[in-house]
């Protein structure tokens, strides 16, 4: 009985495993069916889009060609009109002269015939007047009429080779590609932005430039956001929790035309954009509050972020704060760019406790103490990045505990790495800056 029961249990177990395997197999097949459906839809949608693009392009091309041909025809017809008018004008003048001579000769003939046939009493006087008049008119002087070989004979010269050239060019115009040479590879969330990466998938294609476009999912048209040789770009001014479509194409080495677009993909960010806090008298902010300018005010102090939007995650690396120095003023040792645990008013620098920062001369400060390692001085066009990884030393609770952040500060292709020990857990940090003299302009993203 026990053996039979064990056999039944074994069969039940095998049956359950088979059922689970069948369910997993069905899920996998359904997943593949969805993949096939997506692939079919992609082919159909891209084919429809390609047809529309081709029809629109050739329709525009026909319209443009017709316009150009009409303009050329009008130009040639006008040229015919000008030659005709200029050539006929002297003939018209000669015709008027001849017609005037014919009229004069008719009058003279009538007068001569009257004098000859007149009565004897007045005949002598009439004949005398007629003779004088005939001598005055110079009946032996005739206007010159040009021969036919001396006058223009208009004709049109039309070279049929144009049709051959156009035919050859038209038959080579345009191509249809089934696979673009570059594809989007990765989207990385940034505060108020998305880092977009792409890669070359055609080994035979040699790119010279890339072209990245994006649009909101609700928009109808893509717009250029980057053209250059890099294979990644941070797209800023992205609304959080909103889908955006991206696509990329490339231009081959020595070519003018762009390749087909990659398959559009959707990216989004859930991170709110970095913003400087408003109201500090010594700083002027841009409309998006991501650029701070140290103005001429004598007031000084630390300009903090609006909120602690620089997040640190355990065992994860974040590159959340990037200071881009657009213009510079006179440097001062108290200047600082960095991050801190909390906002503290009354300080004129981040060179204090619970803060790490870099001065404009390249000195690095941790909790107010200067490190021996130093970075290059901050100049116009410099970028300073903060990269932090969480390392927890001891138990951490709401009451506090040992907490360590591994910090990497990079500037001008050099970096320093150190551990920053805190007495409390920090899920997010503020960023800040302070400058003693006007002229410094800082972009944060």
pLDDT digits (tens, 9 = 90+) for 304-360: 999 998 876 433 233 334 455 666 778 899 999 999 999 998 899 999 999 999 999
Task: Give the per-residue pLDDT at 1.
Answer: 67
Least confident range from 202-211, 388-397, 407-416: namely 388-397
Asked whether the predicted pLDDT for residue 261 surpasses 80, the reply is yes
Give CA–CA dist 262/246, Å, rounded.
9
Q: Please check the confidence at residue 88 and state whether its pLDDT lies above 50.
A: yes
Q: Is the confidence at residue 141, as pLDDT, over 80?
A: no
- 283-444 CATH: 2.60.120.920
User: Distance of CA 149 to CAs 95, 153, 156, Å?
Assistant: 18, 9, 18
Which CATH superfamily is 182-269 part of?
Immunoglobulins (2.60.40.10)
Domain boundaries, the chain: 1-172, 182-269, 283-444
pLDDT at 119: 66
Tens-digit pLDDT profile for residues 145-204: 888 888 888 888 888 888 888 888 888 887 777 788 999 999 999 888 899 999 999 888
- Residue 248 is predicted with a pLDDT of 96
Average pLDDT over residues 66-71: 94
Q: What is the pLDDT of residue 343?
A: 93
pLDDT at 121: 60
């Amino acid at each position: 009985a026990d053996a039979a029961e064990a056999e039944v249990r074994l069969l039940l177990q095998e049956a359950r495993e088979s059922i689970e395997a069948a369910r997993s197999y069905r899920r996998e097949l359904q997943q593949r069916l969805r993949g096939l459906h997506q692939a079919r839809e992609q082919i159909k949608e891209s084919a429809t889009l390609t047809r529309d693009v081709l029809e629109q392009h050739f329709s525009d091309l026909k319209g443009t060609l017709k316009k150009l041909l009409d303009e050329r025809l009008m130009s040639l017809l006008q040229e015919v009109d000008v030659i005709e008018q200029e050539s006929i004008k002297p003939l018209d003048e000669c015709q008027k002269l001849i017609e005037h001579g014919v009229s004069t000769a008719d009058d003279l003939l009538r007068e001569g015939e009257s004098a000859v046939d007149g009565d004897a009493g007045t005949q002598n006087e009439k004949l005398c007047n007629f003779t004088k008049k005939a001598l005055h008119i110079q009946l032996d002087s005739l206007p010159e009429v040009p021969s036919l070989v001396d006058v223009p004979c208009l004709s049109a010269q039309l070279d049929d080779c144009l049709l051959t050239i156009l035919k050859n060019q038209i038959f080579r115009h345009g191509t249809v590609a089934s696979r673009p040479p570059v594809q989007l590879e990765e989207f990385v969330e940034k505060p108020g932005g998305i880092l977009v990466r792409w890669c070359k998938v055609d080994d035979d294609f040699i790119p010279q430039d890339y072209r990245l476009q994006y649009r909101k999912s609700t928009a109808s048209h893509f717009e250029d956001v980057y053209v250059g040789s890099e294979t990644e770009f941070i797209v800023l001014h992205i609304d959080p929790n909103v889908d955006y479509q991206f696509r990329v194409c490339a231009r081959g080495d020595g070519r003018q035309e762009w390749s087909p677009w990659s398959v559009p993909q959707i990216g989004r960010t859930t991170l709110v954009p970095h913003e400087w806090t408003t109201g500090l008298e010594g700083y002027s902010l841009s409309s998006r509050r991501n650029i701070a300018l140290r103005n001429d005010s004598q007031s000084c102090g630390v300009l903090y972020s609006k909120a602690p939007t620089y997040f640190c995650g355990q065992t994860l690396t974040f590159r959340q704060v990037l200071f881009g120095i657009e213009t510079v003023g006179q440097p001062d040792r108290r200047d600082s760019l960095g991050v801190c645990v909390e906002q503290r008013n009354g300080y004129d620098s981040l060179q204090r406790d619970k803060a790490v920062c870099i001065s404009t001369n390249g000195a690095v400060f941790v909790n107010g103490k200067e490190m021996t390692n130093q970075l290059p001085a901050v100049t116009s066009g410099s970028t300073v990045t903060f990269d932090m990884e969480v390392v927890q030393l001891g138990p951490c609770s709401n009451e506090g505990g040992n907490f360590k952040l591994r910090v990497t500060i990079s500037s001008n292709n050099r970096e320093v790495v150190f551990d920053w020990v805190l007495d409390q857990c920090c899920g997010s940090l503020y960023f800040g800056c302070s400058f003693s003299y006007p002229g410094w302009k800082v972009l944060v993203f």
